[in-house]
């Protein structure tokens, strides 16, 4: 990972882009509980929390902002995600592109240095047919086109396709699919790994080592290329 100076005004924007399609209905409570636990853990780690700005977005037919990019120390709670609609990957990636550019510009205007954003993308199914999600993803992640192109950590649960999850991740080490069919347990593992990743990355930045630290979720396997 790239390193920058340990400037006290350097921030790491982190986005959770969570699947809110109807198939998530039975497991949405577990996801919301996991994000609430993350909030409590960050409040207990103020040095790490100070280096992170955190946003929660839900995607189905479209994207709904559940929480804008904020300092979690100033939030009383994380709003609830809600199961609804289908699974538009295209809407997710198009929203991330416009939102990240806008957020990074605002943080810089506020006087901060900004580390490359991180997106934790979690889905339990296949993308809608007939959409050009691959093109939207390419525009989002091409650093020659989008200076603030994020690192994307993709996690597939339930009926998610391993090859698709691999295509979404921006690094071969950032693509994970859950083993087994216990979706609730997989969501809990995802939230635990997300929490540790946020705290570890924030702590590293507070110590002047600006890097993204990704903790693999327990019960998931890394997706690898077939040859």
Residue 56 lies in a domain: no
- Mean pLDDT confidence for 39-53: 96
Residue 143 lies in a domain: yes
**pLDDT tens for each residue of 55-81:** 999 999 999 999 999 999 999 999 999
- ∠ CA 7-13-15, nearest 5°, is 165
* Kind of pairing between the strands at 175-178 and 151-156: parallel
Beta bridge partners of 126: none
**What pLDDT, on a 0 to 100 scale, did the predictor assign at position 41?**
96
Residue 76 lies in a domain: no
The domain containing residue 185 runs over which residues?
Answer: 10-49+100-222
**What pLDDT, on a 0 to 100 scale, did the predictor assign at position 40?**
96
d(CA 149, CA 121): 14
If you average pLDDT over every residue of the chain, what do you get? Answer: 93
Residue 78 lies in a domain: no
Residue 4 lies in a domain: no
Residues in the chain: 227
> Considering only CA atoms, which of 216, 128, 202 is closest in space to residue 169?
216
**pLDDT tens for each residue of 105-149:** 999 999 999 999 999 999 999 999 999 999 999 999 999 999 999
- ∠ CA 88-92-98, nearest 5°, is 140
- Mean pLDDT confidence for 159-179: 94
Percent of the chain with pLDDT over 70: 95
d(CA 140, CA 106): 18
Residue 18 lies in a domain: yes
CB atoms within 10 A of CB 47: 12
CB atoms within 10 A of CB 76: 5
**What pLDDT, on a 0 to 100 scale, did the predictor assign at position 225?**
56
pTM of the model: 0.94
Contact indicator for 146, 94 with CB cutoff of 8 Å: no
The shares of helix, strand and coil residues in the chain, as percent rounded to the nearest 5, are: 40, 20, 40
d(CA 134, CA 177): 19
Q: Considering its fold, how many domains does the chain have in total?
A: 1
**pLDDT tens for each residue of 189-215:** 999 999 999 999 999 999 988 789 999
Residue 164 lies in a domain: yes
Residue 3 lies in a domain: no
**What pLDDT, on a 0 to 100 scale, did the predictor assign at position 210?**
79
Q: What is the CATH number of the domain that holds 187?
A: 3.40.50
């Amino acid at each position: 990972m790239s390193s920058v100076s340990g400037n006290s005004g350097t921030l790491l924007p982190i986005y959770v882009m969570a699947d809110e399609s109807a198939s998530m209905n039975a497991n949405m409570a577990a996801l919301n509980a996991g994000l609430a636990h993350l909030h409590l853990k960050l409040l207990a780690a103020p040095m790490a929390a100070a280096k992170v700005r955190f946003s929660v977005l839900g995607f189905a037919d479209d994207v709904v902002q559940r929480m804008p990019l904020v300092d979690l120390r100033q939030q009383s709670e994380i709003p609830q995600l809600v199961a609804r609609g289908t699974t538009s990957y295209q809407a997710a990636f198009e929203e991330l592109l416009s939102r990240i550019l806008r957020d990074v510009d605002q943080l810089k205007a506020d006087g901060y240095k900004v580390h490359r954003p991180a997106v934790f993308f979690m889905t339990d199914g296949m993308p809608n047919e007939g959409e050009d999600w691959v093109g939207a993803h390419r525009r989002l992640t091409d650093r020659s086109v989008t200076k603030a192109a994020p690192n994307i950590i993709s996690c597939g649960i339930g009926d998610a396709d391993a090859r698709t999850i691999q295509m979404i991740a921006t690094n071969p080490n950032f693509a994970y699919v859950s083993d087994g069919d216990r979706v609730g347990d997989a969501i809990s593992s995802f939230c635990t790994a997300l929490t540790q990743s946020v705290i570890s990355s924030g702590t590293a930045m507070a110590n002047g080592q600006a890097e993204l630290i990704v903790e693999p979720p327990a019960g998931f396997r890394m997706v690898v290329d077939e040859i």
